[in-house]
């Protein structure tokens, strides 16, 4: 999905300058916990977050996140914007909640990052062990 | 049940995850057949049978005046044959308003649509509603295999480039060493070392997926130093076959390493949590990214974390 389309769907605004609106994002992730962003995303992800400090941009850089949407009308401080412009990571703003921002994009066809090995392992350890017939 | 079964299940899941990843990356347009054979509503079922036979296909979209009006398949033909209606028009036997796929949709949507609806084919349209292709299940398999092959070739090139530097330098043993100083408590700079390391490894031509794992592990380690220690150092040793990251700090140390490794366990203060860290996921994340991990700590002195990430190397 192109950033142009993302902005349209979430009725959002651009925060950083010189953004290529034809940039494609392949999938979405909503998280405020940066360690979760590092563990549960792939290259090419669009990140939805309520956190606005520069670490969000750093995290995006490490994880290969393509662009970030700040939800709940949050506007990041100047140092976050400066770092994002330096790293070439577009920042977008949405006035909607995390749930609604993600929901609008998912409904419009932006897929999630899928299932993860670590999640499945925890799931199996907790649920499937109990259900195993003797 | 044999005891080996859980391992098989895990391997299968891993493969499925990789294919899923590809299915997210690929678009329907990259898998579909663009030369679509179509019929008009006036075609008779007998003619339609000939078209299927001659082209060895099992269904086609029905087009009238450049617009798709329906879809007709071999099942419709069989029904028509059974009731002796070979001269019936396709327009009367076709399915109207067929389910379609958009050319720019991720391929994973097509996979789930095939599973959900059980149809043999989907016409593919662009966002203006024009018919641009057709997708059968075999197309998906072919596209995934093609992509796997491309990625495999890319990986070969990456391996070649990465190993090249080691071939150009003549020595019995080569280690490239990158060292970064980390300031404790400096959140403005936190992540800068890992950022530079990521860039360096990319320039060395190392596989982007490996670089991503190194960057994530190094970044979590860097955050730990910034959060807890007075100062520290991250060293990356790149050798043919492996990358070793050592994150060492002068700090309070970890009293109970086993406890610290538990997902969700954290001693981070509230202000760190407000930054999106300190939820006890750092060390488990590092472990997930690494092939080997060693954590040593002395309370009141400092902590030393060493991780190994294997490089697919031509020489090994």
Across the interface, whether the CB atoms of A62 and B14 are under 8 A apart is answered no
Take residue B12 and report the two structure tokens written for it: 């299968």
Out of A26, A38, A64, closest to residue B24 by CB: A26
**Per-domain residue ranges for chain B?**
5-142, 171-310
d(CA B189, CA B225): 12
ipTM: 0.81
| CA B205 remoteness from chain centre | 20
Across the interface, whether the CB atoms of B220 and A118 are under 8 A apart is answered no
Sign of CA dihedral A33, A35, A36, A41: positive
Asked if B5-142 and B171-310 have one fold, the answer is no
Out of B21, B108, B275, closest to residue A42 by CB: B21
Across the interface, whether the CB atoms of A117 and B282 are under 8 A apart is answered no
Across the interface, whether the CB atoms of B17 and A32 are under 8 A apart is answered no
Say if residues B247 and B236 touch (Cβ distance below 8 Å).
Answer: no
Chain B residue with CA closest to A87: the answer is B195
* Residue pLDDT tens, chain B, 316 long: 344 344 444 444 445 566 777 888 788 999 999 889 999 999 999 999 999 999 999 899 999 887 889 999 999 999 999 998 889 999 999 999 889 999 988 898 898 899 888 888 899 998 888 899 999 989 998 998 888 888 777 767 766 665 577 677 778 888 889 999 999 988 888 999 999 999 889 878 888 889 999 999 999 999 999 999 999 999 999 988 899 999 999 989 999 988 888 888 888 888 888 888 888 888 989 998 999 999 999 999 999 999 999 988 644 3
d(CA A100, CA A62): 27
Q: Is the pLDDT of residue A44 over 70?
A: yes
Which CATH number do you get for residue A42?
Answer: 3.40.1390.20
Take residue B182 and report the two structure tokens written for it: 């980390």
The model's pLDDT over A71-90, given as tens digits with 9 standing for 90+, comes to: 999 999 999 999 999 999 99
pLDDT at residue B313 in the model:
60
Helical segments of chain B, H only: 5-25, 28-31, 45-55, 74-82, 90-93, 107-117, 137-168, 192-203, 208-228, 257-261, 270-274, 282-289
Across the interface, whether the CB atoms of B212 and A53 are under 8 A apart is answered no
Q: Vertex B75, ends B100 and B129: CA angle to 5°?
A: 15
Out of B25, B276, B282, closest to residue A56 by CB: B276
Distances (CA, A) of B13 to A116, A120, B138, B173, B303: 9, 9, 21, 38, 35
Average per-residue pLDDT in chain A?
Answer: 92
Chosen from B13, B108, B276 to mutate, greatest number of chain A CBs within 10 A: B276
Q: Give me Rg for the CA atoms of chain B.
A: 29
Calculate how close chain B gets to A47, using CA atoms only, in Å.
14
In chain B, what residues touch A83 (CB-CB under 8 Å)? none
Out of B24, B220, B276, closest to residue A32 by CB: B276
CA dihedral (B124, B130, B133, B135) in degrees, to 10, reads 10
Across the interface, whether the CB atoms of B277 and A34 are under 8 A apart is answered yes
Across the interface, whether the CB atoms of A38 and B285 are under 8 A apart is answered yes
Q: What are φ and ψ of residue B37, in 5° steps?
A: -85, 130
pLDDT at residue B275 in the model:
81
Q: Which long-range contacts (CB under 8 A, 24 or more apart) does B81-89 make?
A: B81/B45, B81/B49, B85/B45, B86/B44, B86/B45, B86/B46, B86/B49, B87/B44, B87/B45, B87/B46, B88/B44, B88/B45, B89/B41, B89/B42, B89/B43, B89/B44, B89/B45
Calculate how close chain B gets to A106, using CA atoms only, in Å.
12
Task: Show which residues on chain A lie within 8 Å of chain B, measured between beta carbons.
Answer: 26-27, 32-39, 42-44, 49, 51, 53-56, 58-59, 61-64, 79, 87, 109, 111, 113-118, 120
pLDDT at residue B10 in the model:
45
- A90: number of Cβ within 10 Å: 24
Chosen from A50, A51, A52, A62 to mutate, greatest number of chain B CBs within 10 A: A62
B215 touches chain A (CB under 8 A): yes
Q: Is the pLDDT of residue A42 over 60?
A: yes
Closest CA to A34 of A61, A1, A72, A3: A61
Closest CA to B223 of B263, B177, B262, B275: B275
Take residue B262 and report the two structure tokens written for it: 């538990």
Q: What are φ and ψ of residue B95, in 5° steps?
A: -90, 125
Fold adopted by B171-310: Heat Shock Protein 90 (3.30.565)
B285 touches chain A (CB under 8 A): yes
**How many folded domains does chain A comprise?**
1
pLDDT at residue B40 in the model:
94
> Which letter does DSSP use for residue B255 in this model?
S
pLDDT at residue B280 in the model:
85
Chain A residue with CA closest to B24: the answer is A26
Across the interface, whether the CB atoms of B275 and A39 are under 8 A apart is answered no
- Those residues with Cβ within 8 angstroms of residue B19's Cβ, 6 or more apart along the chain or in another chain: B144
**Which of 3.10.580.10, 3.40.50.720, 3.10.20.580, 3.40.50.300 is the CATH number of B5-142?**
3.10.580.10
Take residue B60 and report the two structure tokens written for it: 């086609």
The model's pLDDT over A77-123, given as tens digits with 9 standing for 90+, comes to: 999 999 999 999 999 999 999 999 999 999 999 999 988 888 888 88
Which residue range(s) make up the domain with A62? 3-131
Calculate how close chain B gets to A92, using CA atoms only, in Å.
19
Across the interface, whether the CB atoms of B20 and A109 are under 8 A apart is answered no
Across the interface, whether the CB atoms of A55 and B281 are under 8 A apart is answered no
Taking the CA of residue B294 as centre, how many other CA atoms within 13 Å lie in the half-sphere pointing to its CB?
8
Across the interface, whether the CB atoms of B24 and A64 are under 8 A apart is answered no
Across the interface, whether the CB atoms of B281 and A39 are under 8 A apart is answered yes
């Amino acid at each position: 999905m192109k950033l142009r389309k993302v902005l349209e769907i979430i009725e959002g605004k651009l925060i950083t300058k010189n953004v290529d609106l034809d940039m494609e994002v392949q999938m979405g992730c909503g998280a405020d916990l940066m360690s979760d962003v590092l563990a549960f995303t792939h290259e090419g992800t669009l990140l939805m977050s309520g956190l606005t400090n520069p670490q969000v941009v750093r995290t995006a850089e490490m994880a290969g996140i393509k662009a970030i949407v700040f939800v709940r009308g949050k506007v990041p401080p100047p140092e976050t914007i400066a770092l994002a412009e330096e790293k070439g990571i577009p920042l977008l703003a949405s006035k909607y909640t995390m749930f609604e921002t993600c929901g609008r994009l998912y409904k419009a066809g932006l897929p999630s990052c899928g299932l993860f090995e670590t999640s499945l392992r925890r799931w199996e350890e907790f649920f499937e062990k109990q259900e195993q017939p003797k | 049940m044999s005891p080996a079964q859980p391992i098989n299940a895990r391997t299968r899941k891993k493969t499925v995850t990789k294919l899923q990843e590809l299915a997210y990356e690929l678009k329907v347009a990259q898998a579909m057949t663009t030369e679509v054979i179509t019929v008009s509503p006036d075609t008779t079922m007998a003619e339609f049978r000939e078209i299927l036979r001659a082209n060895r296909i099992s269904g086609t979209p029905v087009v009238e005046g450049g617009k798709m009006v329906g879809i007709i398949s071999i099942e419709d033909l069989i029904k028509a044959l059974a009731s002796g209606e070979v001269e019936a028009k396709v327009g009367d036997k076709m399915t109207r308003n067929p389910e379609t796929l958009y050319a720019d949709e991720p391929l994973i949507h097509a996979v789930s649509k095939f599973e959900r609806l059980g149809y043999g084919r989907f016409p593919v349209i662009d966002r203006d509603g024009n018919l641009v292709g057709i997708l059968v299940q075999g197309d998906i398999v072919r596209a995934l295999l093609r992509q796997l092959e491309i990625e495999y070739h890319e990986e070969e090139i990456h391996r070649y480039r990465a190993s090249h530097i080691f071939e150009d330098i003549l020595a019995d043993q080569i280690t490239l060493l990158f060292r970064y100083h980390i300031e404790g408590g400096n959140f403005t700079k936190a992540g800068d070392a890992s950022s530079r390391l990521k860039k360096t490894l990319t320039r060395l031509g190392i596989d982007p997926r490996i670089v991503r794992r190194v960057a994530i592990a190094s970044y979590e380690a860097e955050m730990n130093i910034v959060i807890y220690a007075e100062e520290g150092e991250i060293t990356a040793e790149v050798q043919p076959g492996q990358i070793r990251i050592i994150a060492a700090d002068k700090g309070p140390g970890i009293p109970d390493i086993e406890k610290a490794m538990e997902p969700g366990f954290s001693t981070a203060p509230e202000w760190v949590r407000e930054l999106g860290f300190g939820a006890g996921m750092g060390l488990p994340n590092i472990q997930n990214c690494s092939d080997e991990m060693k954590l040593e700590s002395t309370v009141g002195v400092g902590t030393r974390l060493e991780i190994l990430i294997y490089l697919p190397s031509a020489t090994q």
